[in-house]
Amino acid sequence: MLTCGDAPRTPSGYGASGDCQGALSAVLQLIPDPKAALTEMGRVLRPGGRLAVMVPTAGPAARLWRNLPIAGAHAFGEDELGDILEDHGFTRVRITNFGSIQWVRGKR
């Protein structure tokens, strides 16, 4: 079953049964509050559910990027997404970097 919702406020209940998986590809950096969106995704995934996220990353330059006077996409640091997932109860978190692209996955 495919359910569509606002990332920080997804419809409740559909993560309670079935084989729930979540995937975001090159979209999380455009959400105004990526941490809130990841928290909500963790809430709706059932225990054992998996989440995979792909984002562009600025790596060590992320802090500099965030201080520039521009609006737009969030610049993720090297371990930022992995730390957020672990802080919200995800296990087996893995981070793989391919140049300016980062894949992060974890299990609920």
The answer to whether residue 101 is domain-embedded is yes
Q: Mean pLDDT across the chain, nearest whole number?
A: 76
The answer to whether residue 7 is domain-embedded is no
The answer to whether residue 1 is domain-embedded is no
Phi-psi region of 61 (alpha: psi -120 to 50; beta: other; left: phi over 0): alpha
Name the pTM for this structure: 0.71
As for how many domains the chain has, the answer is 1
The answer to whether residue 100 is domain-embedded is yes
What phi and psi values does residue 69 have, to the nearest 5 degrees? -80, 60
The answer to whether residue 11 is domain-embedded is no
The 10 Å Cβ neighbour count of residue 52 is: 14
| Low-confidence winner among 3-12, 30-39, 71-80 (lowest mean pLDDT) | 3-12
Range of the domain at 54: 21-107
CA distance 93 to 79: 11
Q: What is the pLDDT of residue 16?
A: 47
The answer to whether residue 4 is domain-embedded is no
Q: What is the DSSP string of 7-35?
A: TTBPPSSTTSSS--EEEEES-GGGSS-HH
Q: Are strands 91-98 and 21-25 parallel, antiparallel or unpaired?
A: unpaired
CA distance 59 to 22: 24
The answer to whether residue 65 is domain-embedded is yes
